[in-house]
Structure 1
Amino acid sequence: MNIQNTKNKKNKRSNRSTNSKNTEFYIVYTVAFLLIACFLYLRFYLNGKSLVWSHDGVPQHLNSLAYYGRYLRGILYTIFVEHRFSIPMWDLHIGYGSDILTTLNYYVIGDPLTLLAVFCPSSKTEILYEFLIFLRIYLAGIAFSRYCFYHKNSRQATFMGCMIYIFAGWTIYAAMKHPYFSNPMIYLPLILMGIDKIYKKEKPYLFIWSVAVAGLSNFYFFYMLGIFMVLYAVFRYFEQFGVHSLKNVGKWLGVFAIYSVIAVLIAAVILLPVIFPVLGTDRFKAENYVPLFYDKVYYQKYLSCLIGENMIQWGVAGFSAVSMTGIFVLFAKKKKYRTLKTGFILINLFLLFPFAGHVLNGFSYVSNRWIWAYGMLMAYIFVKIYPELFNLSLKEKRTIFVFLMGYCVLALLPDAARTQRNLVAVLLLVLATFTVLSFGAVFTKRKNLMLMTGGFLIAGVLFNMYYQYSYEKDYLSEFSGQGEALDKLETGTDLAVLKTGDKSVYRYDQMGTHSYENSSMQTGTNGTSYYFSVASGDITNFFNEVDLNTPWDYHYENLDSRTILDRLAAVKYFVVKAGEEEYLPYGYDTLAAEAEKKDRLYRAYECKNALPIGYTYDSYIPEKKYAKMSTVEKQQALLQGVVLADSAVPETTPEFNDREVPYKLVTGSGCKEKDGKLIITKENAQAKLVFDGLDECETYLITEGVDYEALSPRELISDKKWNKMTLYEQKKVQYENSKWRYWKESQKAYIDVTGQFLDKTISIFTDKYNAYSGRSDFLCNTGYSEKGKKSITLTFENTGVYSYKDMKVVCQPMKNIESQTSRLGTESLKDVKIKNHELTGSISVSKDKVLVISLPYSKGFQAYVDGQKTELKQANTMYMALELTKGDHEIRITYYTPYLKTGLVLTCVGILCYICVVLVCKKRRGNKET
């Protein structure tokens, strides 16, 4: 008994000592983190920049965080002030109306850290946004340190590993643009530590909850985490058990399967509703180009970019140069660290072959956004070999020297790799490696080697930061000014619409006025723009049917000023900048309000005959017949009959009055037509379509099957001109040709469409571009005019070959628009109110009709007519409809996120399973103690 008490006392003293040293470690880590983070932040602050990226940061990340804060406060208000429980699930202010959970999970909902938004006023969101960027990076270091300490690594080594891990290129570059890109860096070490605990037959709690929180936080990185989780479990199995029986393998597979399923079940309340919309998007289904190899320049810069500048396709490595010294030491130890060596080789193979980037990106476009996992491996390799730095043999030092020389030659031999950043990174690597090789000969104190190694490590980190945000790189120019980001979301467009004072339910559209999409989320207006990574597949399908002039399936700004589409979408106001009224669609001719923003005047024009949010048809068009119509016929048909699979109302045969007009193609300098293709050999070369347009029409340029292939510098020069060039001139072109990248250059192209009072753009995305969604047919509305148009000028911004299956000019008369619109709006939904996720209104119809509500169709909607549950049909591809009988009716439509109830049930099942696991673990522990 006395012996046992003595052991317990020793263990307690040991634990106190360990805790004390851990406390010292985290104090040092925190101070070091704050100093380096301050250095990084000052790069922004001293240049008057915020950490909000102008492109996605304003309309998506910051916008979502501000919205989420108000959303959470609204829920708490209903609970504690109104004493009721209500969670809004749908919002008309997001795009055409969107599910809140599925749209914002990718950005904020599910991430535990963003819950802090509930305490932050909207006006202070930018401060919280910046704080969360650094908090995530800080927590990633904490998670990494816990993994290192679990594996009995020293505090010195762990500290240096943390610096390598959290201040690599991924956080310096990617996490500044997309704050939540740091989240997987927090979860990965915890998940891997959880796997180790399971192998050691310790409690599986850490594994289950780490996987569950990762699943709740972001489905995109959860997929990648799952792949690395499996790879790590396999590596650790063979490291611990070697080649074993199938029975043992099956046992461990079963154990991990059970715990993984429990974790996924816990996350199902968010994960399940989010996954299904993602799988239905064109961006996910598009067949992107996946080459066998990257371009030559990628491999030329590959080695130097591991410790230097960024590679293409999100290959953002940029590890501190000292980490490469660790790799040299690792491979100098011939009979040790086989698992780490195998892992390093495998993960580099992932970076070398595009197919790996394709698989790890969800079988979508090629992207190496998984490189944060490489960062953990690099950091942990350094942690493991750190003790080896102090006892290298002469033979091992010679091997390291050979590795260093080989790396320097291979990394800097190609011209493309010898950039300033890469040269300095390699210089730091040489100094750090020679410092390690000098230990035991030039100096012998361990403390000196530790300080010098740590100094070179921090120098590498600071240099990478400095260069990434240097004036030469000009990365800072991509970020918003301090305090400006939220103000940008209060656009002049929205202010003009709000000044109308109109309290009814309607939408607005615009042309050329939006500084950012999604601004309606902040101002409470209802627009036609949208820019989030998860989009409704039905909206995309509708845009494909009418060939809307945008190549994106999740990013759209307007309806291209097309009168019919605006009427069908219940667009009551159209906003243009003062002096640009030529962009107004037909019928929007009454100035309703105007507002000034940053010295620009924005004007909102009203259509007196605009359709309300709910309008009625007395006939229908079968979907099969609608599918056979041309693009222009489809939009005309939608004003004459509702498109349904079947209906009780009579079928109609729509009448069409569009007219295709012949044109003559006149090519200018640098542009020639050949075999149905336009070959452009000079930037901004032009071609003109000359025709006799009709009066009082919208004139459309329709291009079908558009594709683009870039031309290399050599291909831009004819053989005749080439033969006349001097040898020097030819060599110069050949040099430029060697740096030219087909894969990169052929990603996208732009055609400016201009005419009298017109300037629009057709954007072409090829399957080599990461935003490619498969769209290749476009209808560009050149605008309405009382007098027939005579020409359209095409300006090709990019050199290359523009191919197309067909190109035509079509005139769409407006003379029937008003009568057709009036017919739909005569008997419409009145007293419409939309609150949270419920729409109510009343209607009176003189005969059996179909009520179309211009909200995007979703299985989450449920309709009640006069209190009776009624089938809600999908109509006109993207909207929804109710069949009504003659008489007066009260309409109520509610919304509940699809699969949320199922996900909630599964989450409850997962929690119950987890409780069972806890009880079993406690029982086993009790049995062992007994």
Structure 2
Amino acid sequence: MKKHLLLIVLVVIIGALPCFLQYGDYLLMDDFFRQEIPFIMETKRMFSSGIPFWSWNTFFGDNFISSYGFYTLTSPFVWFNCLFPYKWLVHSLFLTLVLKYICTYLASRMFFRKMDVSEVNANIGGLLYAFSSYAISNSFYYHFFEPMIIFPILLVAIERFLRREEYNKTTLVLAAFLTVFINYYFAICSFIAAAMYVFCRIAFNKDRILLLKRAPLGILLIIIGILIDSFLLFPTASHLSGGARATQGILTGLDFTAVPFFIERLRTLFMLQPLEETTTLFQGTGFNSCSVTLPVLGIFLVFAYCWNYKRSWITGLIIVSLIAFLTPINTIFSLFTNPNYTRWAYALTLFLILASVKWMDLSQNKNPIALKSVFIYSFIAIGVFLFALWRGNGIEESINKLQFGAYTFLLFISLACLVAFVYTSFSKRVLLAGILICATFQMAIFNILRSDIGFSLASKKESQGMVKRYLVDKKLDRMSDDNFMRYRTAFEARYPNLGLLTNRPSVSTFHSVLNTNLYQFVTIADTANVIFWNAFVPNYYRRSFYALMSVKECVVYHDSLSNRVDEKMNYTRKSNSPGFTLYQNNDFIPMGFTYDTFISENTIDSLKNMTPQPDVPKVLLSHLVVPSSDKTTFAKLLKEANKVDLNANIDSIVACRQKYCSMSFEGTTSGFTSKIYLPKDNFVFYSVPADKGFSAYVDGIEVPIYKVNLGLSAISVPKGLHNVFFEFLPAGLKEGVVISVLSLLLLIIITYKEVRSSSNFYIT
């Protein structure tokens, strides 16, 4: 096994050379540098703060537990990265990538050994799983690896439970807990796949009645394991309810509108996948998470096993899994997201490998495969490949040529290794060499296509050089926590998460877990001027928007598109550096300011239908926008505006808002403090999401928080000098912690009983 671990390290290093030669580090385009790196940096900052509740660098501030539970919060690999200084983070990311491949190999190897696969073939199976197309082509989704590692462990726990091995109940509870803890969304995929596994395991077993009787207890133990995660699940559910993900409903695709996406997956059973799919069978779109191809073997040995062992439960599992994979049934794995996703492909991959290594174990050359079978398989694989290219549409010619060369090279390398494997009567050395060769080439090609070189060859002008410009050159230093969150910064650049990278609260964020409170603000308040694709990215930079959101500094990168500034900005240049210019926003209004008038949200609803759409942020800056149901409350201190002056002078509006505003403001990871003087009683507006986890205090006395300006906050403050304090505790956290503790006590009781009765354990 030590030899295999060394070979894994060697393959990953060689496969990463294209990135090291370009950047001196392991860096990739798209989500790896758009989300994964900045999210890990923010996680490290939040952990070091001591109270990781409120992240000012996410959106306009957001619930850290709920926003990062899907990505980084519960990842041991991220915890390891957080031990290093920020400047070493990229180096440590590659180290943890190597560790992930190793852990994936070890976890799957443990499962194959549990399934009575010989040690030699279990090692082969572990390598097939670790270097499957799913693993390689999803490596830039940093958080996709952990479910791959945990899923085989979950199946091992299920096997232990079915066989009544020692401490089987405790093991099953812990495995269920870890499955959810590591990634609560992927847990849906893992549990459904595990249910298919258990169904086939029981249905084809002669002792099915005995095994079936244990099913209710097993389900109860899994529920207990899930409930231990309540401290994470309750705040997350509270945060996401009513948001974009939840309100879009369950995207099933069962109306067969998504059938082309499901048919497209047929190709991934045969073909390697080094890049997100742009050459699909029927649609010009696709995702890395579709791929299940095994290095060298594909599903060749799977066919051999199923043909020779037709009544095996593994054959039944393969058939059930492929039906789920290739039909709209797949969508039960992808709730609340695109029906085209196949993020559970790691489970199918593991099942296919189980059949492959089982065949190698059981055949022992008694049922040798003729070379003609290899050629028939190769003919089918090449046919699917060519058919996919023929049916692919909406593809840039340069991408098509680029991918055609990569796919063709990898396909023929795989087939050549497969021929060599069969010709040498299934030599394990030949198969091992073939796996490593294919994995190395696929990883290297993937890293080329996912780098600046690949995007340049693909003529994606908007993305060329982004990794080098924003991550390698490091033109803007990271702000220290000592000067943190007194104002916001605007980054006028193509890259939306520069605030996370540089520790500057920004007005543009790319984050897939959408902020529920900002949903109305983004989709209604500035519909024509904001791109909303799992992100908040101003499409045009307006003085009114920056003033409303308390932007003090503007970093204008020299790659910015000039048409993204639709009016003259009120800037003063502070410094000019290679690659960007730093400006001071003269329209800056400290966070926490007052209004004289208000309007109802109904007025904003009428404005959004106007053509051309008016400057809605300027309207929000002119008048406090309140829900119609709260008009009576705000009428006590403010006048209701009779009409909205769409041509009002922005200079005079800003001057009015700057007249009475906070004397000081400082954000923390548990809220913020503010000091303000008012000549009369008034409502003070803070451009902070009106999250239900906030509590507000004026001079230590709690006051209600009102939802204004389509999702932001305001409180009532009496005249005079006052200290304002907002304290954040994630909604649902207390209840979740209580349930987690009670569930943990149940686990302790279960473990205690198993220890007491350990002498009665037996294996069936």
Q: Which bin holds the TM-score, normalised by the shorter protein?
A: 0.7 to 0.9
Distance 1:47 1:210, change over 3 A: same
Residue 571 (1) aligns with residue 567 (2)? no
Residue 39 (1) aligns with residue 37 (2)? no
1:102 aligned residue (39, 63, 66) = 66
User: What is residue 828 of structure 1 aligned with on the other side?
Assistant: 661
Distance 1:324 1:307, change over 3 A: farther
Residue 531 (1) aligns with residue 506 (2)? no
Question: Matched residue of 1:369: which SS?
Answer: coil
2:229 aligned residue (267, 270, 290) = 267
2: CA distance, partners of 1:629 / 1:313: 38
Matches within 5 A, 1:246-325: 249=212, 251-286=213-248, 290=253, 291-294=257-260, 298=264, 301=267, 304-305=270-271, 312-314=286-288, 315-325=290-300
Residue 853 (1) aligns with residue 689 (2)? no
Residue 180 (1) aligns with residue 143 (2)? yes
Matches within 5 A, 1:803-882: 812-815=646-649, 817-882=650-715
Percent identity, aligned pairs only, is: 17
1: CA distance, partners of 2:566 / 2:416: 65
Measure how far apart 1:208 and its partner are: 2.0
1:632 aligned residue (614, 632, 653) = 614
Distance 1:515 1:295, change over 3 A: closer
User: What is residue 236 of structure 1 aligned with on the other side?
Assistant: 201
2: CA distance, partners of 1:502 / 1:434: 63
Measure how far apart 1:231 and its partner are: 1.6
Answer whether contact 2:108 2:152 (CA < 8 A) is retained: yes
1: CA distance, partners of 2:22 / 2:542: 43
Measure how far apart 1:588 and its partner are: 4.3
Residue 614 (1) aligns with residue 592 (2)? yes
Question: Matched residue of 2:292: which SS?
Answer: coil
User: What is residue 400 of structure 2 aligned with on the other side?
Assistant: none
2: CA distance, partners of 1:519 / 1:467: 28
2: CA distance, partners of 1:284 / 1:528: 24
Quote the RMSD (CA, aligned, Å): 3.6
Residue 589 (1) aligns with residue 570 (2)? yes
2:79 aligned residue (115, 135, 142) = 115
Question: Matched residue of 1:882: which SS?
Answer: strand
2: CA distance, partners of 1:590 / 1:211: 55
C-alpha distance after superposition, 1:242-284 (max 9, x if no partner): 6649xx74x4342122211221122222232223434443245
Distance 1:521 1:489, change over 3 A: farther
User: What is residue 394 of structure 2 aligned with on the other side?
Assistant: none
Matches within 5 A, 1:406-555: 406-413=376-383, 415-416=386-387, 421-422=407-408, 425=411, 428-429=414-415, 432=418, 436=422, 439=425, 449-469=427-447, 475=454, 486-487=471-472, 491=476, 505-510=486-491, 513-546=492-525, 547-555=527-535
C-alpha distance after superposition, 1:564-619 (max 9, x if no partner): 333221233444468999966768435151230xx3351414325x4321112344
Residue 208 (1) aligns with residue 173 (2)? yes
1: CA distance, partners of 2:232 / 2:474: 28
Question: Matched residue of 2:593: which SS?
Answer: strand
C-alpha distance after superposition, 1:455-489 (max 9, x if no partner): 33434434434544568996586898999764566
Answer whether contact 2:157 2:171 (CA < 8 A) is retained: yes
Distance 1:151 1:871, change over 3 A: same
Aligned residue identity for 1:569: M
Distance 1:219 1:888, change over 3 A: same
C-alpha distance after superposition, 1:523-579 (max 9, x if no partner): 333320111111212212112112143342531233722333332212334444689
2: CA distance, partners of 1:172 / 1:466: 10
Matches within 5 A, 1:599-748: 599-608=578-587, 610-624=588-602, 626-630=604-608, 632=614, 635=617, 637-638=619-620, 639-644=622-627, 645-646=629-630, 647-650=632-635, 652-654=639-641, 656=643
1: CA distance, partners of 2:597 / 2:468: 53
Answer whether contact 1:95 1:518 (CA < 8 A) is retained: no
C-alpha distance after superposition, 1:170-195 (max 9, x if no partner): 222211x1122111111011000101
Measure how far apart 1:209 and its partner are: 1.9
Question: Matched residue of 2:683: which SS?
Answer: strand
1:349 aligned residue (301, 313, 323) = 323
Aligned residue identity for 2:624: G
Measure how far apart 1:57 and its partner are: 1.8
**Between 575-584 and 280-289, the greater mean CA deviation after superposition:** 575-584
User: What is residue 125 of structure 1 aligned with on the other side?
Assistant: 89
**Between 32-41 and 104-113, the greater mean CA deviation after superposition:** 32-41
2: CA distance, partners of 1:563 / 1:476: 34
Matches within 5 A, 1:38-77: 38-48=13-23, 50-75=25-50
2: CA distance, partners of 1:104 / 1:295: 29
**Between 560-569 and 539-548, the greater mean CA deviation after superposition:** 560-569
Normalised by the size of structure 2, how large is the TM-score?
Answer: 0.83
Normalised by the size of structure 1, how large is the TM-score?
Answer: 0.69
Answer whether contact 1:848 1:883 (CA < 8 A) is retained: yes
Aligned residue identity for 1:648: T
User: What is residue 387 of structure 1 aligned with on the other side?
Assistant: 361
Measure how far apart 1:376 and its partner are: 0.9
2:538 aligned residue (552, 558, 569) = 558
**Between 464-473 and 273-282, the greater mean CA deviation after superposition:** 464-473
Residue 140 (1) aligns with residue 71 (2)? no
1: CA distance, partners of 2:11 / 2:484: 51
Residue 92 (1) aligns with residue 71 (2)? no
Distance 1:303 1:339, change over 3 A: same
Measure how far apart 1:97 and its partner are: 1.4
Distance 1:222 1:819, change over 3 A: same
Tell me, which stretches of 5 or more residues in structure 2 are unaligned? 278-285, 390-403, 457-462
User: What is residue 190 of structure 2 aligned with on the other side?
Assistant: 225
Measure how far apart 1:865 and its partner are: 1.8
1: CA distance, partners of 2:432 / 2:485: 64
C-alpha distance after superposition, 1:335-386 (max 9, x if no partner): 55x2222222222223323x24433222421212221112211222122111
Tell me, which stretches of 5 or more residues in structure 1 are unaligned? 1-25, 76-86, 440-447, 659-811
Answer whether contact 2:248 2:336 (CA < 8 A) is retained: no
Measure how far apart 1:157 and its partner are: 0.6
2: CA distance, partners of 1:47 / 1:423: 22
Residue 375 (1) aligns with residue 346 (2)? no
Measure how far apart 1:887 and its partner are: 4.2
**Which structure is higher in RCO with an 8 Å CA cutoff and minimum separation 6?**
2
Answer whether contact 1:147 1:189 (CA < 8 A) is retained: yes
Distance 1:859 1:488, change over 3 A: farther
Point out the structure with the larger strand share: 1
Aligned residue identity for 1:560: Y
Point out the structure with the larger helix share: 2
Question: Matched residue of 1:556: which SS?
Answer: strand
Answer whether contact 2:678 2:718 (CA < 8 A) is retained: yes
Aligned residue identity for 2:232: I
Measure how far apart 1:433 and its partner are: 5.5
2: CA distance, partners of 1:451 / 1:339: 29
Measure how far apart 1:431 and its partner are: 6.1
Answer whether contact 1:304 1:422 (CA < 8 A) is retained: no
Distance 1:481 1:205, change over 3 A: farther
Measure how far apart 1:112 and its partner are: 1.6
Aligned residue identity for 2:239: P
Distance 1:460 1:520, change over 3 A: closer
Aligned residue identity for 2:357: V
Question: Matched residue of 1:854: which SS?
Answer: strand
Aligned length: 711
2: CA distance, partners of 1:926 / 1:39: 50
C-alpha distance after superposition, 1:635-673 (max 9, x if no partner): 554312341431434264435566xxxxxxxxxxxxxxx
